[in-house]
Structure 1
Amino acid sequence: MPVHRPGSIRPRALAALVTALLAALSLALPLTTAQAATTPARGSAFMGMGVVAHDGRGGSPAATAAVQTEGVDVSGHQGNVDWATLWNSGVRWAYTKATEGTYYTNPYFAQQYNGSYNVGMIRGGYHFATPDTTSGATQANYFVDHGGGWSRDGKTLPGALDIEWNPYGAACYGLSTGAMVNWIADFLNTYKARTGRDAVIYTATSWWTQCTGNYGGFASNNPLWIARYAADPGTLPAGWGFYTMWQYTSSGPTVGDHDKFNGALDRVQALALG
């Protein structure tokens, strides 16, 4: 009969323990890998990347009697864009991602920003905000210094602040609603001081409600670019009685993100001229 010594583990018990530990490890590793795979690299964010996950995707713009002008928005994800095809399809304005935080500039910015201009489009730049990394003023200055400026040439739209779900962590970047409003105001005030123009605000109503407390204080000066992939833009954030632009899909032709300007081409030109 085997002798069991105090403090020792029977062979069968040891084998069972090892098996259990290996099984637990095998379950844990895929979870860690999956979590890592769902967190994008810094700099990879783009307009609307959180819309499908948080607001859903469905429908297409309903018929309307109001004249709307087709536009697109692009980022480094699109690489070199076929602007001639977009122009021939009726696209007349475009926004290009210029910057994110204070750590990223779009490597395709020149081809996208100048390419849209060269085929005749009215163009602008946008900044993907990361309020948990640096102040609003710091990011506004970085944006202006790296493509987000404005000129009164009739072909350049004021810069846009892309403020939406955090792709790298907590939806509201760890800020209270009051702190988020202050961050946005810091960005907008600095951009206005640098360029003389009020920046466009791109957002989704559900994010705005959650992360700013549905603050309505920017509506009088800053044009609204609403994101909603549905038959209509839905309820707008507080203060805005109408949208200036509407991102209505992330699966459009040539490039995914297509938009409607709430007016004819002369209204796009009016916004460009300021």
Structure 2
Amino acid sequence: MDYGIDLSHYNTVNDWNAVRGNNITFALCKITEGTTFVDQDAGGHLSGARGVGIHGGGYHFARPGSVVDQVTHFVNTGTPLGIFEPGSLTPVLDVEVSGVGDAFIAEWIRVIRERTGVKRVMVYANLNFWTNVLHPDQWAGDGVYLWIARYNGDPGNPGWAHPRLALHQHSDKGSVPGIPGAVDRNATIVPFGLADLLN
């Protein structure tokens, strides 16, 4: 099992060496949201993580509307940050709001692959979305991984299963040395590991 964190501008990291010393091997960072928002802390988070040997990656918070415009915003912002380069975490689509459903996700996967050449893509949602809103069998083929938010305190065992389910956000109040305050903690889900989730 591999352990990681996800970060946005709400998080401050004071000591990346301490983070790495807590057996954290990956950090997924918010890059963009919708068609205009840019997380100004993404570059600092990514460089800090990489500087101590933690694999960095980026996610886009989806809003209803044009998929192409949101992919363009994510790619234009994330490319200079290196998030589509080999060794980075596969790009993530963060699905949390109504109006973003299966058709949006399927189109996102197609367009992000076309624009970046990456084959692996991950989709994040909570248990309610996975069970009541989304139908991953419609679009989660080879190279697509699922990431579930379920804060049950049991890393890697979210209590919901899917053949493509690879990552579990098991706490939004995690404690990690080097990060003041709470942070989201994640663990890979067997049989998947970190190597499966890299570009």
Q: Structure 1 residue aligned with 2:62, among 126, 129, 139?
A: 129
* 2:84 is the counterpart of 1:150: yes
Q: Structure 2 residue aligned with 1:183, among 85, 104, 108?
A: 104
Q: What is the CA deviation profile of residues 97-153 of structure 1, one whole-angstrom value per residue up to 9, with x for unaligned ones?
A: 00000121111111101111111001100011112xx3112111211111164112x
Q: What is the CA deviation profile of residues 48-99 of structure 1, one whole-angstrom value per residue up to 9, with x for unaligned ones?
A: xxxxxxxxxxxxxxxxxxxx11100000101345322211111111100000
Q: Does structure 1 retain, via aligned residues, the 8 Å contact 2:140–2:164?
A: no
Distance 1:208 1:270 in 2: 21
Distance 2:75 2:188 in 1: 24
Residue ranges of structure 1 left out of the alignment (5+ in a row): 1-67, 167-171
Distance 1:195 1:95 in 2: 18
TM-score relative to the length of structure 1: 0.62
1:122–1:189 Cα change, 3 Å: same
1:269–1:81 Cα change, 3 Å: farther
Q: Does structure 1 retain, via aligned residues, the 8 Å contact 2:151–2:171?
A: yes
1:215–1:269 Cα change, 3 Å: closer
Residue ranges of structure 2 left out of the alignment (5+ in a row): none
SS of residue matched to 1:130: coil
Partner of 2:197: 271
1:181–1:98 Cα change, 3 Å: same
Partner of 1:262: 189
1:73–1:257 Cα change, 3 Å: same
Distance 2:136 2:91 in 1: 21
Distance 1:70 1:225 in 2: 13
Q: Percent of counterpart pairs with the same letter?
A: 28
Q: Does structure 1 retain, via aligned residues, the 8 Å contact 2:62–2:95?
A: yes
SS of residue matched to 1:78: coil
* 2:133 is the counterpart of 1:201: no
- Counterparts of residues 45-60 of structure 1 (less than 5 Å): none
Partner of 1:252: 174
- Counterparts of residues 1-274 of structure 1 (less than 5 Å): 68-131=1-64, 134-147=65-78, 149-152=83-86, 154=87, 156-164=88-96, 166=97, 172-173=98-99, 180-197=101-118, 198-212=120-134, 214-221=135-142, 222-230=144-152, 231=154, 232-236=157-161, 240-253=162-175, 254=179, 255-262=182-189, 267-272=193-198, 274=199
Q: Which has the higher contact order (CA 8 A, sep 6+)?
A: 2
CA RMSD of aligned residues (A): 2.1
Q: What is the CA deviation profile of residues 10-55 of structure 1, one whole-angstrom value per residue up to 9, with x for unaligned ones?
A: xxxxxxxxxxxxxxxxxxxxxxxxxxxxxxxxxxxxxxxxxxxxxx
Q: Which structure would you say has the larger Rg? A: 1
Q: Aligned partner of 2:85: which letter?
A: S
Q: Aligned partner of 1:95: which letter?
A: L
Higher strand share: 2
1:260–1:98 Cα change, 3 Å: same
Q: CA deviation at 1:209?
A: 3.4
Q: Does structure 2 retain, via aligned residues, the 8 Å contact 1:101–1:130?
A: yes
Q: Does structure 1 retain, via aligned residues, the 8 Å contact 2:166–2:193?
A: no
